Amino acid sequence: MQKEKLQRLTDQLIKYTSEADDIYEGVREAGKEKDFFSEVKPFADQVKEACVQWESGMKEWMKETEFKHLFPEQIEQTAHNLSDVAVQAFFPKTSYKRFKSHVQSVEFILHHVKAEIERILS
């Protein structure tokens, strides 16, 4: 996979994480779940597809390039956590602490990946 595409996917995943966080804040405030088929599933499917592409592309790239302080397991876990967050964001009963913890860890790794990609490509 092209390195520039992975860079764009990483940026997209950062946006999805922020969007999921905003959705969660909104549903918590309203105290009302969103409709599964019209809102939850389309967003979750979009995020899942991007995560799958990003994870496989990053793991391939990591086989040929050394990333500082990043490991394939972190890529897997981040993709998995973001896929979970994309669904959990729509439900106000989701644990606040757990949700925010996942968002924070996803953002941390994605920003670290972004910085590493920029370092490698420059």
d(CA 112, CA 109): 5
Does the structure show a pLDDT above 80 at 1? no
> How is 17-44 classified by DSSP, letter by letter?
HHHHHHHHHHHHHHT-PPPIIIIIHHHH
pLDDT, tens only, 58-68: 999 999 998 99
Average pLDDT, the chain: 97
Nearest to 72 by CA among 42, 100, 120, 113: 113
Question: Model's pTM, two decimal places?
Answer: 0.96
How far from 56 is each of 20, 46, 51, 95, 118, CA to CA, in Å? 22, 16, 8, 29, 19
* pLDDT above 80 (res 4): yes
Q: In this model, does residue 16 exceed pLDDT 90?
A: yes
Q: What confidence tens digit (pLDDT) does each residue in 74-113 have?
A: 999 999 999 999 999 999 999 999 999 999 999 999 999 9
Q: How many residues does the chain have?
A: 122
